[in-house]
Amino acid sequence: MNKETAKKVIIALASKDTDTLNALGVTVYGNKGRMWENEACITSLDDIKGECNPRLASNYCTVEHIGCPQCIKTLLDLAYGKPQPQATRV
Ligand SMILES: [Zn+2]
């Protein structure tokens, strides 16, 4: 996920814009408990191998349930800059 995409995702998340999130390829993971707490993970942050980036499971969470603090932080860092391990092309 690049910087521009991350920004679009943040904006779409803020406005609960499911169509845009689907178009951006955002997928969600979280078990029932996390869904209820709106702390589901974003599973399409593939550039970042976060501590919480489950890939092997999916369930019926929807984008409205995204809210994992770790994923949101990663997304914000991606969008608004924090030195990344990989060199960024300018
Ligand atoms: Zn997460």
The answer to whether 28 touches 66, Cβ cutoff 8 Å, is: yes
How far does the centroid of ligand 1 lie from the alpha carbon of residue 78, in Å? 14
How far does the centroid of ligand 1 lie from the alpha carbon of residue 47, in Å? 14
Could you give the CA distance from residue 73 to residue 17 in angstroms, rounded to a whole number? 19
Across the range 22-43, mean pLDDT stands at 79
Across the range 22-49, mean pLDDT stands at 76
How far does the centroid of ligand 1 lie from the alpha carbon of residue 55, in Å? 11
Indicate the domain borders of the chain: 3-80
With a cut of 90, say whether residue 8 has pLDDT above it: yes
With a cut of 60, say whether residue 58 has pLDDT above it: no
Residues flanking ion ligand 1, Cβ below 5 Å: 41, 52, 68, 70-71
Kindly report the pTM of this predicted structure. Answer: 0.71
60-75 pLDDT tens trace:
567 778 888 888 888 8
How far does the centroid of ligand 1 lie from the alpha carbon of residue 84, in Å? 18
